Structure 1
Amino acid sequence: MTPSPADTPDMSVEEFEELARRAPETVTLEYINGKLKVKPVPDQLHGAIIMWLLRECMQQRPELALYPEQGIKVPAYRAGRAKADGALAPLDHFVGQPGEWATADGVLMAVEVTSFDSDADTRDRYDKRVGYATAGIPVYLLVDRDTDSLVVHSEPDGDTYRLCRSYKYGDTVALPSPVDITLDTEKLKDYSG
């Protein structure tokens, strides 16, 4: 059976990694499900949300760190590379891992904050969710700026998460084990577009 164009990878992982090293600072490149994805540089409110979440995580779980813009190897469908807006892991977890792309082993939570671009729906709501589930990352937190909500995915099972709960900005969000952090999201209302 001949593979369809949708099943044919854009390039090899090695070719992608070389391209990503040479990409301009105005974009972030990702390789998910065999396809090249271009992610715009985050805006200031995107950065403010990540900083808010970073502080919340470190205040409640000082033995952990939320690593911004962490490259993670995600094996979904074809070998892939996702640049997580945040990866929650033990302090110094990524020290000693070679290169820009670390294994997902030991990552407790991946975080994405949507950007206002045409690819956010596919990239953040589907492709990365599948990639993070397949990599076995226990929790995937999506801060969806289009709907002013947080979507918590947990209990990875193959290429999906068994549980998915949505919360509006202002709700109290209890992130499940192994994260075990409770977010008072009232502050996110200040960052609403």
Structure 2
Amino acid sequence: MSEPLAITPSSDVAFTAAVKAAQQARGSRQAYARVEARGGFRTELTPDFVQFLGGIDTAFLATANAAGQPYVQHRGGPKGFIRVLDAHTLGMADFSGNRQYITVGNASENPKAFLFLMDYTHRRRIKVWGELSVVEGDADLVARLMPEDYGAIPERALLFKVSAWDINCPQHIPQKIDAPLVAAALQEREARIAALEMEVARLRGLVGTADAAGM
């Protein structure tokens, strides 16, 4: 009778033998072994992931060339610029930039990629492992991925096939508030101050009228 096949936890995409040895040496292996016993990281894009993705405008996309030389590129756009295409696939339009094409070149020889998604306002981050493919010449797909009323020029589509994802704790994440949110809060405060000043002036007027009448 053959031995049952061992199920590889999805977290092995990050927890290689070398990483597990480092965890063992530094006392965290037992905790992450429990994660592995539950199957590892999540692999399907859940509703809470979709909600998180719809609220962020900042991401970092990491690739590496065939020799293993890494490269990290900032990706930004309107909130929700990264789209969920199905339970395992993300997509985004590749906007025209400085035309170095390092990410495009890396993906052509090494599809392994990593997305680091940041929400500074709420101090949340999600790590996503997968494979990146570059889609050229598909105008319908690019139109589907292009954010509405956004002035950037799309050149192609990028598809990210998700292998696993995990949520980091908020430790050490600085809280940064988006400028439009700050501007809206300041505008609301100024309007409130103006209303209070008008009310103070009205009440002072009533008091002055009463004093003049000898009341």
Question: Normalising by structure 1, what TM-score?
Answer: 0.26
Which protein has the larger Cα radius of gyration, Structure 1 or Structure 2?
2
Higher-strand-fraction structure: 1
Relative contact order (alpha carbons < 8 A, sep ≥ 6): 1 or 2 greater? 2
